[in-house]
Structure 1
Amino acid sequence: MIEVTPLFRLQAKVDGPQIIEGPLGKRLFIPVTGGTFSGERLSGVLQAGGSDFQLIRPDGVAELDVRVTLKTDDGVTIQLKGHGMRHTTAQVFERIMSGAEVDPSEYYFREALFFEAPTGKYEWLNRIIAIAKGGRMKTEVFIDAYEVL
């Protein structure tokens, strides 16, 4: 059985997407404008300038490709890359985007997380894989991240 330990909760503020239609589906470019992350071993803020590059496939599944920069409370900059998927019914997604509170149990939102940290206090992040379960609101995304032991 795979063992995990809590890593952090991340809450990201997002703007509306830029949408481009293509042969594989809709491409969404969703700017991350800020946010926070908090855990026992690292906490801090998300710097503006990151993005969630999504592909909405013809079957309705959103393939997630997230790139954000974390800045820890002690001033260290760490790159976070997330790859995952989110899917639900059209009705549930419509409720999310209307601003309604939707329980995350009504949809699937999972990611694998990878880090690039400088030598020093957080370099251990370069040698782990983390997994996350998330939730989506109209202008905010949250994930609960866990280190795979």
Structure 2
Amino acid sequence: MSTSLSQALPESLKSLQTRPLFVLREQVPPLFVVGQTPNGFRRIGIVPGGVFEGERLSGEVVSGNDWQSVRTDSCIKLDVQILLKTTDGALIVMTYTCLRAGPPDIIEKLDKGQAVEPGAYYFRMTPIFETAAPQYDWINRIVAVGVGHRFADGPLYSIFEVL
């Protein structure tokens, strides 16, 4: 009698546990539309500011950029780098990839800055962090995930540390 791989897993490998890291709100003015290139339809956003708040760290978004690839399958891939400054002055580089996907009419409304319910589309991110600040050294060695919602003036993300 054979046992499937999932049945043989220890409990620690059967589910994923997270804890809140912070909520991030970015300011993103209208995008620069590069247009159709040989590699895809490209848009670029500048991130001139924002805020983040969490139990273990909070602060402001100093700056960043958001390079977007609009795919043909009603999905937008975002490659983002931002610089965070904590309330105690530490600098943290946050790099993340997002996928924002949904029915074409929902994606079109988001692109026009119209209000859409967060559950009407898929918006997920995978951030990683870098810092030289000793008090936040732990963030260099975590995996995180996030869920997002797009407002007309920029996204809001709830970010979680994967335990």
Give me the TM-score of the superposition, normalised by structure 2: 0.86
| Alignment partners' CA distance in 2, 1:43 and 1:68 | 14
Fraction of identical pairs, as percent: 36
Aligned to 1:122: 136
| Alignment partners' CA distance in 1, 2:133 and 2:81 | 20
Deviation digits for residues 7-53 of structure 1 (CA, Å, limit 9, x no counterpart): 000000001111222123211111111100000000000013x0111
Unpaired runs of 5+ residues, structure 1, are none
Higher-strand-fraction structure: 1
Q: Return the match for 1:92 from 106, 112, 119.
A: 106
- RMSD of aligned Cα (Å): 1.2
| Alignment partners' CA distance in 1, 2:120 and 2:160 | 21
Q: Say yes or no: does 1:53 pair with 2:83.
A: no
| Alignment partners' CA distance in 1, 2:48 and 2:104 | 26
User: Structure 2 vs 1, CA of residues 99 and 55 (structure 1 numbering), >3 Å: closer, same or farther?
Assistant: closer
Q: Which runs of 4+ in 1 moved over 4 A?
A: none
Q: Which amino acid aligns with 2:88?
A: D
Matches within 5 A, 1:64-103: 64-103=78-117
Conserved 8 A contact 2:131-2:140: yes
| Alignment partners' CA distance in 1, 2:72 and 2:48 | 28
Unpaired runs of 5+ residues, structure 2, are 1-14
Q: Which amino acid aligns with 2:142?
A: I
| Alignment partners' CA distance in 2, 1:22 and 1:108 | 25
Give the CA deviation at 1:91. 1.5
Q: Say yes or no: does 1:42 pair with 2:50.
A: no
Give the CA deviation at 1:101. 2.3
Give me the TM-score of the superposition, normalised by structure 1: 0.94
Conserved 8 A contact 2:70-2:76: yes
Q: Give aligned pairs, total.
A: 148
